Chains A and B, each alone.
Chain A
Amino acid sequence: MKKLSIRNIDQGAIMKLNKILKNTLLIVLACFALSACATSKKTTGQMQGDVYTGTDTIEYLASGVPDRVFFATNESVLTTASRETLRKQAAYLRKNSKITVVLEGHADERGTREYNLALGERRANAAKDYLMTYGISSDRISVLSYGKERPVDSGSNPLAWSKNRRSVTVKAN
């Protein structure tokens, strides 16, 4: 029993240490990210991890309703920012109940063509599922994957790739 409690205390200490280490690591990473941004020419672009967080290339379905969400490399998980964007899109679509949309899923150029077609489809469906949980009927949403065929940024660098990993909501009518 005693030993067990000691171990618990130790674990607590280790966890604290871990937290401290993680925080310092985050700061170091942030420094790297900042210096990376400072050196890259396009200062409008930003990334968190490797998810694009800037406003370049974004168009608007209506005032304050961005048309696209971005993904990490090889991922189709929606980020907090992406979910916020999609909630705005859902609200807009609820207000405008006659509008139907196509969700166009895209991947960056750093993958094989066929896998990227599947990945684009998975990304667009992640966005579709989220819109559906906010009350948009599936028959108002169709999905179209372009894989890596339609990049918005023709650059061969991490920032360009981050802009290309996206799902874009396009009005279909």
Chain B
Amino acid sequence: MKIFTKIIIFLIIIPSKSFGLIEVDITRGNLDPLPIAVSPLSIDENSRQNFEKIIKKKNIGDEISKIIEVNLKTSGLFNPLNKDAFLQAPDIANLKPRFEDWNLIKAQALITGKVSYIDEKLRVEFRLWDVLAGKEMVALAFTTVPTNWRRVGHIITDKVYQRLTGEKGYFDTRIIYVAEEGPKTKRIKKLAIMDQDGANNKFLTLGNELVLTPRFNPTSQMVTYLSYFRNLPRVYLLDIETGMQEVVGDFPGMTFAPRFSPNGKKIIMSFAKDGNSEIYTMDLENRIVEKITNHPSIDTSPSFSPDGKFICFNSDRSGYQQIYVMKSDGSNVKRISFGKGLYGTPVWSPRGDLIAFTKLHKGKFYIGVMRTDGSGERLLTENFYQEAPSWSPNGRVLIFYRETKTDDKGKGFSAKLWSIDLTGYNERMVKTPTDASDPSWSSLLSN
């Protein structure tokens, strides 16, 4: 698939070292987003015409800058300024911004750039400027195939985000999820994939069989999910580049709740038999299956710590659904959730320090986070029904799904994807063409 063509990145100038330049603090709720001006990327007329033929957009430079703007705004950390107020022409701004002009419209940071058509390739250079200090913060150029133009916008946003927050971005990523249609009692579900901003939505299955809980391999374009193919609920492995798929393991019963290990080499999942669900791993290289838990209760929703040494999971061995942590060999099982209510779907943060979860208490569902020893529980959002958080690759944002309450006649059901910052701020619906559930966030596609 073309989207996966590797993007070649050439550093023209190594980012200059900072001294007292602007910074964005992402550790607290940001109520005062940084004003940033995204100057449209300049383009010569010849290049513009060439790209118009290929991507059917009038001005690729404008389109890429729009992607950057939307990304920055969605992050909640930046406030992209209205372009009507810009005084300096894009091509000149990219050479040397007149900082007074940008200062006048209260921009603290400025993005400029240039797009050109060279040897049938798309070449983009961009610069990030600190308006107050009058300094260049980042300058980069990349060359790629023209069809990758949206990804260029995402990669630029990632570079800007990283330079201003000190942490990696999450914009050049994709979301795999379950697209839903039809009445609640006969829901049709398909696997679907889209860019993080909702573009390039594509259905991966036809809806002939029920599919649930797709999850990305953190190291490749593989996906694991649950399919009811031939009415046998089994964990499958799907290569989204080739479309090849296979059943994981040879279990005489339902396998479900799959997830990859951090190195992508194992799948961890539940196997249910005779009323008892246990957690197993399967090594994808040598196909060796290991039983990890051994308890007559329900043990499910396993998730590895990023170093692969621990597993958090959901069990009702205490009588009700709670969150437990154990070593990856199944030893040292410890309950970590002790608050009021039921706890489910624990997911270890890619940063390693937190576990996100779903909580049910007094008829309300919450998405929350706690430290890996269960301390510091913090609830981020409350609703009638929501569950299944998935972390952005930098561990700063959670995506989950929410279902509405139906009316007296059972009408008005919908399921949608939502995202929220770890800070509890910036809660927003993620647009999808159909109803949606079970989102899983990919790793960064580049770097």
Q: How many whole Å from A133's CB to the nearest CB in chain B?
A: 14
Set B210, B253, B314: member contacting A149, Cβ < 8 A: B210
B298 interface contact, C-beta 8 A = yes
Give Cα distance in the complex from A155 to B412, angstroms.
Answer: 10
Set B275, B344, B363, B408: member contacting A114, Cβ < 8 A: B344
For B274, what are the chain A residues with a Cβ–Cβ distance below 8 Å? 125
B433 interface contact, C-beta 8 A = no
For A119, what are the chain B residues with a Cβ–Cβ distance below 8 Å? 298
Interface digits, A2-42 against B, CB 8 Å rule (1 contact, 0 not)? 00000000000000000000000000000000000000010
Check B413 against A154 for contact (C-beta < 8 Å). Answer: yes
For A126, what are the chain B residues with a Cβ–Cβ distance below 8 Å? 275
Tell me the nearest residue of chain A to B438, going by C-beta: A113
Set A117, A144, A153: member contacting B257, Cβ < 8 A: A117
Interface digits, B241-255 against A, CB 8 Å rule (1 contact, 0 not)? 000000000000110
Interface size counted on chain A using CB atoms at 8 A? 31
For A121, what are the chain B residues with a Cβ–Cβ distance below 8 Å? 254, 272, 275, 277
Give Cα distance in the complex from A70 to B344, angstroms.
Answer: 23
For A157, what are the chain B residues with a Cβ–Cβ distance below 8 Å? 408
Of A48-56, A59-67, A81-89, A104-112, the one contacting chain B is A104-112
Set A114, A129, A156: member contacting B406, Cβ < 8 A: A156
Residue among B257, B272, B321, B410 with the highest chain A CB neighbour number at 10 A: B272
Set A125, A144, A152: member contacting B233, Cβ < 8 A: A144
Check B406 against A154 for contact (C-beta < 8 Å). Answer: yes
Give Cα distance in the complex from A76 to B297, angstroms.
Answer: 12
For B257, what are the chain A residues with a Cβ–Cβ distance below 8 Å? 114, 117
For B342, what are the chain A residues with a Cβ–Cβ distance below 8 Å? 111
Give Cα distance in the complex from A151 to B213, angstroms.
Answer: 18
Give Cα distance in the complex from A110 to B383, angstroms.
Answer: 12
Q: How many whole Å from B204's CB to the nearest CB in chain A?
A: 19
A74 interface contact, C-beta 8 A = yes
A118 interface contact, C-beta 8 A = yes
Q: How many whole Å from B359's CB to the nearest CB in chain A?
A: 10
Check B184 against A145 for contact (C-beta < 8 Å). Answer: no
A68 interface contact, C-beta 8 A = no
Tell me the nearest residue of chain A to B270, going by C-beta: A118
Check B314 against A117 for contact (C-beta < 8 Å). Answer: no
Check B408 against A155 for contact (C-beta < 8 Å). Answer: yes
For A166, what are the chain B residues with a Cβ–Cβ distance below 8 Å? none
| Given A110-B360, A114-B213, A115-B298, A76 contacting B275 (CB threshold 8 A) | yes
Set A41, A115, A145, A153: member contacting B301, Cβ < 8 A: A115
- Contacting residues of chain B (263-283) with chain A, CB-CB under 8 angstroms: 270, 272, 274-277
User: What are 21 of the A-B contact pairs (CB < 8 Å)?
Assistant: A112-B301, A112-B358, A113-B213, A114-B213, A114-B301, A114-B314, A115-B301, A115-B314, A118-B256, A118-B272, A118-B277, A121-B275, A122-B272, A144-B231, A144-B233, A150-B185, A153-B185, A153-B410, A154-B183, A154-B185, A154-B411
B-to-A contact residues, CB < 8 Å? 183-187, 210, 212-213, 226, 231, 233, 253-254, 256-257, 270, 272, 274-277, 298, 300-301, 314, 316, 320-321, 342, 344-345, 358, 360, 363, 384-385, 387-388, 403, 405-406, 408-411, 413, 438
Please provide the 7 A-B residue pairs with the shortest distance between their CB atoms, ordered closest to farther: A125-B275, A154-B410, A112-B344, A154-B184, A118-B277, A156-B405, A118-B298
A-to-B contact residues, CB < 8 Å? 41, 74, 76, 109-115, 117-119, 121-122, 125-126, 129, 143-145, 149-157, 160
